[in-house]
Structure 1
Amino acid sequence: MRTLLVTLAATALLADSTGCSLLIAGLAGNVTGSDGVALMANMDKYDVDAIDVVFDGTPTHWCPGESRSFKVVAQARDHKKNHPVTLETATEFATAKEKRGKMDLIEFAMEGRGGKVSRGVFTADYDPFASLLGYDVRAKYRNDPSKQAELHFEPSYACIGSIGASGATGQEGQSGYDGAEPGQGGSNGGAGGDGGPGPRVQAYVTIVRTPKYERVGLARVADGADGITLFDLEAGITIYARGGTGGRGGFGGAGAQGADPQGAGGFGGNGGPGGNGGDGGAVSLVIDDRYPELAQVVRIDVSGGEPGYGGDGGYGGAGGPAPERACDSCDDPPPGPEGTGGAGGPGGTASGRPGISQVLFEDLTHSFRELPPGVQLRDDPRRVTAPPAPAPKPSGRKKPRPRR
């Protein structure tokens, strides 16, 4: 009782001095918030029998870089009423009303393998080689560490759709100058720069073995791009060397306020035009000659870059201040008219031209001699083409003599 009185007294003091009554209520757990709605559940009132971690959609597989929210569900027993209850954690952005009777996630120690747990969300590592064995999420009830739950997810690579590089995005156009003198208009924005050309990308593709998969795709890019990734053999992958997107046009300058009194505001400058897209690059794709079927699932994209957007027009300036009333009973005179806003700039006029590509089939043993730990080249033999059938032997029969 003494502790409760001290807590309530401290709460009242802090609420009066800092206005943080809602924050203190959230920490206390059994105090109502400013809207009169009880906040988080007081876990001292319950005995927890078991907990579970529940994800949206109940996934069984997880992609690198994928994020999903979860909640912890507890099967508990109320001390006073002595009957079973089911409790769950509140989401990060829940309102005070939505938090009513919910558990606070800080009641649980959360761990993630192959990713990180933060505020009710598990995010897998973007590196597909960091978690070849899959992903795990574990929750442990802090008041009773024997109550814990763990979920395992198999790795999936179906979400990895592409690898490569694009040309540089064109430089954004310079913004127009704002009007400096009363009623002066803003200047127009500058043109966006053209996108850069796509790079030259050398790509190698094969099929490998991992701890979880006997057959999974592996793609490596070099020269104009640098990277290596696994990919799903059904979903396939795209090797790209696209042209850069055109730069956005510059913003129009803002008009200045009108002169005093009642001067017209300056007009806004027009936005600058967007730049054109850069030309596509070049891709040389080499496929492991043991797996010619990869040509059906590995795509190439050397498209030109998209044109850039036009810049926004500048704001018109405010009208000049209104003069004083001519008499006490007179209406207030209006201020000066606002300046007109500038027009948005046009987008770039052209996409970049497509680039070039080629596909080759070679022995890639040397190209993949060094692989990430846990990844192995398969030892599938090369397909031997059957030799052509021998030419038929002559029958040995003599040609009949022509009759005379």
Structure 2
Amino acid sequence: MKFEIVRDELLDALNDVMKAISSKVAIPILTGIKIEVNENGMSMTGSDSDITIRTFIPVERDGKELIKISEQGSIVLQARVFSEIIRKLPTNEVKINVTDGLLTLIHSGKSEFKLIGSNPDEYPILPEVKDEHSFSLPADLMKSIIRETVFAVSQQETRPILTGVHWTVEEGKLSCVATDSHRLARKLASPENMPTIPFSFVIPGKSLQELNKILPDSDSPVKIIIAEQQVLFKTDHVLFYSRLLEGNYPDTSRLIPTESKTSVTVNGRALLQSIDRASLLAKEDRNNIVRFSTEDKMIEISSNSPEIGKVEELVEAIQITGEELKISFSAKYMMDALRAIDGQDIEIQFTGAMRPFILKSADDDSILQLILPVRTY
């Protein structure tokens, strides 16, 4: 295998592939990246068994030559070492030449590295994903779905199914739900050309977080192909495979209240900043509790820690209807929910001091956050 490549292009593709590389893998060869060169261009594959990422660099793009191929072939190189070498090469021209079986020469400017590669035939083959169910979403919608849901997945492996986001396609609509039993995040969307046959699947939260780093900030389409145990996300030059979580996701629809006794409309950013300040004096334990009470069109945010001190702050509400209320909740959960709704005017609907309450944008019904209160009053 022998070729020349533009370093910047190689580095961009390498940065994507490295997101699938882990030092904690059962198969030693998976600490490496598989490089393949043919007449069409160069592909690189990285995997940790749960996630597999494959990038492709064409021979030319928009009339500009990116790769000059002298000899086709393939090799597996140690991912961390190869990545650091490419990152620190002195020029934008890189020559890679595999000689004597597995010895790989990397040449740039006056620098030359010699790496000992591994047999590419020992690298696991890509998962086979048959087109059982597929649809496309714009990349920017995908990123907002991930941002507005994935933070609410469970971090505990005691119920593995809750470490993922539940995607459901029904009647041409997409619903994405995450919950850790203490809070819930839901995003609804109605993209074009959705399948008419209903189906659902659960994608690990960690996979979605890595996918989010790769997706472009544009409306370019991402094709999503679902098979029995795998999902494949396809963009122009990246294939992102993830395993799916097995098991039945709990029915979360019954958790969402359909009526409320108290409704508060408030500027989301102002409320977020107030709760952030109050959390400074909240106890540094798991709950990090802040109190919230409604009186005379004002919201009182307070927190009390006997060892540290007390804080009280008033936030002006846009509107408060229904019964007066005092309720306590985790500051962290509330701030995560407010950040997901992202500074818009929000509506908070309460059904009682010890009942789950929901937050949603005052202008957009597609985002819903639910939080369970904490008993302190």
Report the TM-score when normalising by structure 1.
0.20
Identify the structure with the greater strand proportion. Answer: 2
**Higher Rg of the two aligned structures:** 1
Identify the structure with the greater helix proportion. Answer: 2
